[in-house]
Amino acid sequence: MFPIRDTVPCKNYPVVNTLIIAVNILIYLFQLTLGPELNRFIYSYGLVPARYTEPALSTLFSFSQQLTAPFTFMFLHGSFWHLIANMWSLYIFGDNIEDRLGPFRYLIFYIMCGIASGFSHFFLNFDSTVPVIGASGAIAGVMGAYFVLYPRAKILTLIPLFFIPYFIDIPAFIFLGLWLAIQFFSAAGASAESASIAWWAHIGGFIFGIFILNLTFKIPSGNIDRIFNRLTKRKRTEKLQIIHPIGPGNDPDLYGTIFISAYEAVMGTKKLVNIPVHLKRRLLTVTIPPGVTQGTLLRLNGLGKVMPDSRTGNLILKVSFREEEK
């Protein structure tokens, strides 16, 4: 179950979310240069609970390392796929939360969720000498906020069935609810020393993200968000769109709506469109020529219904401008 994208458009480019992703990637590239020193680096800047509960072990680390580890651990990753999985989830869910909170409050929210996830792991694994690293706890907090703010959003999800890619729209509250349930079952079946994944950090981050969300909205942001919003306002709609066409009665044609911005109407654009048709999923590239107007109809020949007499209808897409782009 791999998320491809969500259906919630953003009004602004996610500057902070993108910056967090970039920092994680740069730090991982730095890790690759450490060679045999990497293990020491992980133990120094990862979160090792026993460092704080075992006096003999705590003496091996400096005061600054002890103080910063609950923060630095969330920017380290153990492998390329660990990094990719975390950053992709942050890319899917983080932009919408930044859009709602604003960049300044989003950064504070993200860091607080990461620290809280580390403490949730710490309090349940006092004596563990296994270092915890990764952004997944902070990202879990972002997912918890998404669960509250966008429960009815759809997550376009890739489910491989016998090596055949199958795409399905899953409501966000179901997708995230299943994800949380998996974390609970995995945590229940793993011991502190044998687990390679800090499941309780995920659970703690998710729950903390839910409960701290409303408090985060109350943090004053001054003019920072207004300046960022003015500079980062999107000129384009999302590249990948999900369209559910309808075909009334015996009409062989299917009808749907494709969303663009006023800027794209003038300049022209291409969209990747996912269309469920007759229990199949079709990914299409739709070219929108320059100069279209609100209500312009685009005809995609041969992509409509197949009638009993073997006639094949067309897919007709109506161009519509996003409300905030008018």
Q: What is the pLDDT of residues 89-130, one digit of tens each?
A: 999 999 999 999 999 999 999 999 999 999 999 998 888 888
Six token digits for residue 62: 């400096």
pLDDT at 279 over 50: no
pLDDT at 305 over 70: yes
What is the pLDDT at residue 144?
97
pLDDT at 194 over 50: no
Whats the size of the chain, residue-wise?
Answer: 326
Distance separating alpha carbons of residues 45 and 49, to the nearest angstrom = 12
**CA-closest candidate to residue 12, choices 189, 208, 161, 233:** 233
Cβ neighbors of 168 (< 8 A, separation 6 or more) are: 156, 157, 159, 281
Q: What is the pTM of this model?
A: 0.82
Cβ-based neighbour number of residue 254 at 10 Å: 22
Confidence bin at 190 (pLDDT 50/70/90)? low
Confidence bin at 322 (pLDDT 50/70/90)? confident
3-state SS, 218-260, equals: CCCCCCHHHHHHHHHECCCCCCEEECCCECCCCCCCEEEEEEE
Each residue's pLDDT tens digit, 118-170: 999 999 888 888 899 999 999 999 999 999 999 999 998 888 777 677 778 89
pLDDT at 203 over 90: yes
Residue 278 amino acid letter:
H
Q: Which domains does the chain have, with CATH numbers?
A: 2-232 (1.20.1540.10), 240-325 (2.60.260.20)
What is the pLDDT at residue 248?
82
What is the pLDDT at residue 323?
59
pLDDT at 277 over 70: no
What is the pLDDT at residue 120?
93
Average pLDDT over residues 39-52: 93
Confidence bin at 224 (pLDDT 50/70/90)? confident
Please tell me which of 30-34, 164-168, 251-255, 320-324 the model is most confident about, judged by mean pLDDT: 30-34
Summary mean pLDDT of the chain: 88
The dihedrals phi and psi of 292, each to the nearest 5 degrees, come to -70, 160
Q: How far apart are the first and last CA of the chain?
A: 36
What is the pLDDT at residue 191?
56
What is the pLDDT at residue 220?
86
What is the pLDDT at residue 124?
87
